[in-house]
Structure 1
Amino acid sequence: MDLFEFNHDKEADVNSLPPAEKLRPQELRDFLFTSRRVETQVQSLLNIIEKKGVIPSLILWGPPGSGKTTLAQILSKLTGATEISINAVSSGAKQLKSLGEEAHNRKIVYGKPTVLFIDEIHRLNRAQQDVLLPHTEKGDFTLIGATTENPGYEINAALASRCRIIQLERHSEETLDKVLHSMQSDRGQTLEGLLNEDQVNLIKDLADGDARKFINLMTSIFDHLIENTNPISSDELENLLSDSGILYDKSGDQHYNCISAFIKSIRGSDPNAAIYYLARMLHGGEDPKFIARRLVILASEDIGNADPRALSVAVDVFKAVEVIGMPECRINLAQAVTYLASAPKSNRSYIGIDAALAEVKKSGSLDIPDSLKSARNHVAEKMGFGKGYKYSHDGRKGFQAQEFLPKEIRNQKFYEAGDRGFEKKMKEYLAWMRDEEK
C-alpha cells in the first residue's frame, strides 16, 4: 500500500505509466504552484520538516487536477516516513482503525513515522472520520486528506481543527503552457504548424484548469499526429475532443445549454429527453451534486403541490449522490429524473412567493391584524393583541372564517391551487372548507 510505489521502483517501466502519472512532478522545484499563497504555505511546511523531520496533518482542498496528490507525494517523500495511500470510497472504519494501530506500533517499535494519504476524504462518513481523530491527536500518523469539497462542510470540525488546510486553485493558462512544453519535450514531438493558437486555447478552456484532463486530451492530439502529419482541421479537432469525452465544457456554452435542455425536458414532461441530457452531462464530467441541486429547485418550482412527493424524491437523490458518488449515483439520478419528468406540473408556489415578495417590497411592513399578534406579556394583552382570534380547530371543519392579511391587502391573492395532480384535491378541499363562510 505504498503511496507512490511505482515512483520509487527503479525497475518500473516508466513508459507504461498513464501520461498524467508519467509527467507527475517528483521534486518540489518542478511542482506547478497555482498561487503565491500556496507557495508560501508550502515553504512554511518545509521549514517544519527541516526542524522536526515531520509535517503537520493537512487537508489539501482544490478542484480536480490542481496538484493535491502530487503535493502530498512530494511532501511525504521529504519526511522519509512510511507512506500509506487509500481512497475513501473503498475504505471503512475497520480498515482505518487497523491502519491507525499499525502506525502506532511502527512509531513505538521502530520509531518510524507514517503518512496516511486519503484521497477523496470527504467521502468518509462522520463515524469513519471519528476513527482518524485519536490517531491524529496522538501523532500515530500524519494525515493528508485530499478533497474537492469545502472542508468546512465535509470534514468533522474536530478533525479539521487538527489539520492545516491548503487550498489549491485551478491551473492558469500559463501553467498549462508549461505542462504542454513538458509533454512536447517528453514525447519529442512539436505542435508547431499542426495545431494553431486558437485550437490550443480551446483545449485549455475545455480542460478548465485541470492539468490531468489537459494532459489526457493533449495525449489524444499527439497520438493522432503520429500517423497524421497534416495540420489538424476544426472538424478533426472536434472529433478528437468528442472521442475524449471532453467536448462538454463545464464552464462554457455546453454546460449552460445542456442544463437548460435538461431542465426544460423535465418541465416539459419528457423523461426520454431528460435522461439523455443527464447522460450528456455525466459523460462530460459534470458534478453530480450540481445536477442534484438543480433537481431540488425544480421539484418545488415546476412540480410543487401537483406532486408533493417530488421534493422528497429530489432531496433523497441529493443525499444519495453525496453518500454514493459516481459512477453508481448515476442510477439514483436517473430514477429521480424520470420520476420528476413524469410527475404532474405546477408552478403556483413559485408564482405565489414571487408575487408575495413583490407586494412586500412595494408596500413594506403593513400592520398585522391585532387578533394575530402575540399576547406574550401583560402590556401586549392590555393593547388588545390576540383579542378576537378564533382557534381554527374549534370550527366544525377545522376552520373558522377570519381575516389573516393586513387590511390594506385583504383581497390580495398570492397563491391559488391549480387543477393538476394533488393540487386539484387541495383546491377542492379549500373550496369545501370555505363553504362555512357562506
Structure 2
Amino acid sequence: MTADEGLFELPSPEAAPAETVPATAPLAARMRPRSLDEVVGQSHLLRPGAPLRRLVDGGAASSVVLYGPPGTGKTTIARLLATAETRHFVALSALSSGVKEVRDVISDARRRRDQHGQQTVLFIDEVHRFSKTQQDALLGAVEDRVVLLVAATTENPSFSVVSPLLSRSLVLQLEPLTEDEVRELLRRAIADPRGLDGSVSLEPDAEDALVRLSAGDARRALTALEASADGLADTGGSLIDVPAVERTITEVSVRYDRQGDQHYDVISAFIKSIRGSDPDAALHYLARMLVAGEDPRFVARRLMVHASEDIGLADPTALQAAVAAAQTVELIGMPEARLALAQATVHLATAPKSNTVIVGIDEAMADVRNGAVGAVPAHLRQGRYTGAKELGNAVGYRYPHRVPEGVLEQQYPPDELVGKDYYRPTQHGVERTLRERLAKLRRAVRGE
C-alpha cells in the first residue's frame, strides 16, 4: 500500500486528515488508498475478521501498535480509521507533541465519550520517539478506553515502547510488500488518473529495476517511478526504460537503523551466516552494515568474539585474522578497511568450526559459581615467602622441564575437580590433531 509517512503534515488535534490531495502532491501521496479495497499488501492483517480489518471497519475496541518498515502502510491505515463516522480521529506526531498535547487530547476524548458517546481514535506517528513520561501519560486513557490508541513505529516496540503500554495494546507487524504487490502499485500508478494517467509506459526491465530498488517500500517505488517519468520531460519521450531509471536513481536506500532492531537483526544474521559457513550471505550482511554507515569497529569487535566463540582452536589463525582486521580499521579506517573486514569475514566463514572454547569456559565458570572451587593443591601454592614451606606450600612440586618429555604426572586441579574435562576438542580442523595430543597429555598428567 502507498503509505507515505514522510510526505505530508500530520493533522492537528482539532482536525481529521484532509480527504483531498492536490494534483501537485507527490505521486505517492496522490496514490494513497482511499478505502480498504485499494490497499495492496498486509493481507494477513486486513483479511475479514482480522483485528486491523475490524478496527478500520469500526468494530474493534483494542488499541494497536503498528510496527513495520517505512512504506508499508502504517499511516495509510491510520487515515482509513478517520473514515468511520462514529469516531473522532486525532493525530499527533511524536516529533512535535509533548505531554501537554497528549493530556489535552485525553481530556477532550473523555468529554466526547461522556457527553456524546463518541469514541476517540488517537493516532501517534513515530511513537518510539515519545519519552517514557509521554508514553506513561497514555496508560490510564488506553486502559479505560477513553481513547483507542493507534501507534506507528518503524522500530521494534519491544525496545522502544514501555511494557505497560505494550501489554494494553495489540502489536501488529506490517511486512514489506512482495515483488508482485510492488508491480501492482507501479502499474496502477501509471494508469490511474490520480497518478500518471497513462502518460508514460514502463519497459519490463525497467519495472524489474524499480521493484528491486524499492526493497518492498511502496513509497520508494512510487517516488522512483515519478522521478523516472519526470526525467523524460526534457526528451519528450514516454517510455521509461532502464537507462531512464538509472539516470534518476543512484543507490538503493538501505533499511537499517543503528539504534533500532535492524541493527540487532542484521548483526545477528551476519554472525549466524559465518557460524553456518556461508561466506556469501556473510558478505551480504557485512555490505548492508557498511553501506548503511555502521561503525566498522563494532563489526570488527563481533568478528573477534566470533573467532573464539565459534571457531576457537579448530583454526587458531581465525582470531589472528579478526584482530588484524580490527587493527586495520583503527589504523586505516574506511573505506579501505572494508577489505580487511571482508577478508576476515570470509576467513571465519570458511574456517572449520568448534565451540569447545566457549563451552569449556562457561562450564568452568558455572562450576565455580556453584561452589566447586576447592583448595589449591599445596604443591602448587606460592612458596617464596618466609614460613611458606612450614605450611607445606610448594613442597613436592615437580618441574616439568626437568624431564625429557616436558610432561609428568602431577595433580593440578583441586581435589573436587580431579578428572573433570572442560575442554573437549572436536574432529574439526586443527582440533583433530589437538584431540589426539590432548588424550596423551591427560594420560601422562593424570597417570592413567
Matched, 1:88 2:94: yes
Distance 2:227 2:332 in 1: 43
**Is the 1:53–1:79 Cα contact (8 Å) retained in structure 2?**
no
**Is the 1:66–1:170 Cα contact (8 Å) retained in structure 2?**
yes
Distance 2:67 2:187 in 1: 27
Q: 1:218 to 1:343 in 2, by over 3 A?
A: closer
**Is the 1:61–1:147 Cα contact (8 Å) retained in structure 2?**
yes
Structure of higher CA gyration radius: 2
Cα deviations by residue, 1:321-364 (Å, 9 ceiling, x for unpaired)? xxxxxxxxxxxxxxxxxxx74699999xx99xxx9x847279x8
**1:204, CA displacement in angstroms?**
0.7
Matched, 1:188 2:197: yes
Match of 1:360 among 337, 356, 359: 356
Q: 1:134 to 1:102 in 2, by over 3 A?
A: same
Give SS of 1:15's match: coil
Paired position in structure 2 for 1:29: 37
Distance 2:96 2:383 in 1: 58
**Is the 2:214–2:252 Cα contact (8 Å) retained in structure 1?**
no
Matched, 1:121 2:127: yes
Distance 2:370 2:80 in 1: 66
Distance 1:18 1:139 in 2: 36
Matched, 1:152 2:158: yes
Distance 1:142 1:104 in 2: 12
Q: 1:108 to 1:43 in 2, by over 3 A?
A: same
Q: 1:410 to 1:218 in 2, by over 3 A?
A: closer
2:374 partner amino acid: G
Structure 2, unaligned runs of 5 or more:
1-10, 257-265, 267-286, 306-328, 386-392, 395-410, 424-448
Distance 2:158 2:84 in 1: 28
Cα deviations by residue, 1:365-390 (Å, 9 ceiling, x for unpaired)? 69x99xx96784xxx7xxxx612269
The within-5 A match list for 1:3-152 is: 8=18, 14-35=22-43, 37-40=44-47, 43-44=50-51, 47=54, 55-152=61-158
Structure 1, unaligned runs of 5 or more:
252-258, 260-279, 304-339, 412-438
Pick the structure with more helix per residue: 1
**Is the 1:84–1:116 Cα contact (8 Å) retained in structure 2?**
yes
**Is the 1:19–1:219 Cα contact (8 Å) retained in structure 2?**
yes
Paired position in structure 2 for 1:171: 177
Give SS of 1:94's match: helix
Cα deviations by residue, 1:236-295 (Å, 9 ceiling, x for unpaired)? 4322112xxx445669xxxxxxx9xxxxxxxxxxxxxxxxxxxx98998x4x7xx25x65
Count how many residue pairs are aligned between Structure 1 and Structure 2. Answer: 325
Q: 1:236 to 1:219 in 2, by over 3 A?
A: closer
Give SS of 1:16's match: coil
**1:180, CA displacement in angstroms?**
1.6
Matched, 1:298 2:300: yes
Distance 1:78 1:151 in 2: 27
**1:171, CA displacement in angstroms?**
1.1
Distance 2:102 2:183 in 1: 40
1:31 partner amino acid: V
Distance 1:248 1:74 in 2: 28
Q: 1:358 to 1:200 in 2, by over 3 A?
A: same
Distance 1:29 1:138 in 2: 32
Paired position in structure 2 for 1:224: 231
**1:103, CA displacement in angstroms?**
2.1
Give SS of 2:77's match: helix
Q: 1:341 to 1:118 in 2, by over 3 A?
A: farther
Distance 2:226 2:112 in 1: 42
**1:53, CA displacement in angstroms?**
5.8
Distance 1:387 1:23 in 2: 76
Distance 1:209 1:30 in 2: 17
Matched, 1:202 2:209: yes
Distance 1:375 1:177 in 2: 60
Distance 1:56 1:117 in 2: 13
Q: 1:82 to 1:34 in 2, by over 3 A?
A: same
Give SS of 2:70's match: coil
1:226 partner amino acid: A
1:220 partner amino acid: A
Match of 2:375 among 371, 379, 387: 387
**Is the 2:182–2:221 Cα contact (8 Å) retained in structure 1?**
yes
- Kindly report the root-mean-square deviation, in angstroms, between the aligned alpha carbons of the 2 structures: 5.2
**Is the 1:3–1:73 Cα contact (8 Å) retained in structure 2?**
no
**1:206, CA displacement in angstroms?**
0.8
Give SS of 1:164's match: strand
Distance 1:120 1:298 in 2: 32
The within-5 A match list for 1:259-408 is: 286=292, 291=294, 295-299=297-301, 301=303, 341=330, 358=354, 360=356, 376=371, 386-388=374-376
Q: 1:68 to 1:360 in 2, by over 3 A?
A: same
The within-5 A match list for 1:210-249 is: 210-230=217-237, 231=239, 234-242=242-250, 246-248=251-253
Distance 1:163 1:198 in 2: 43
Cα deviations by residue, 1:42-83 (Å, 9 ceiling, x for unpaired)? 655555777x76642111122211111111111232253222
Q: 1:387 to 1:361 in 2, by over 3 A?
A: closer
1:75 partner amino acid: L
**Is the 2:126–2:151 Cα contact (8 Å) retained in structure 1?**
yes
**1:297, CA displacement in angstroms?**
3.8
2:171 partner amino acid: I
Distance 1:49 1:71 in 2: 7
**Is the 1:129–1:159 Cα contact (8 Å) retained in structure 2?**
yes
Paired position in structure 1 for 2:404: none
Distance 2:370 2:139 in 1: 50
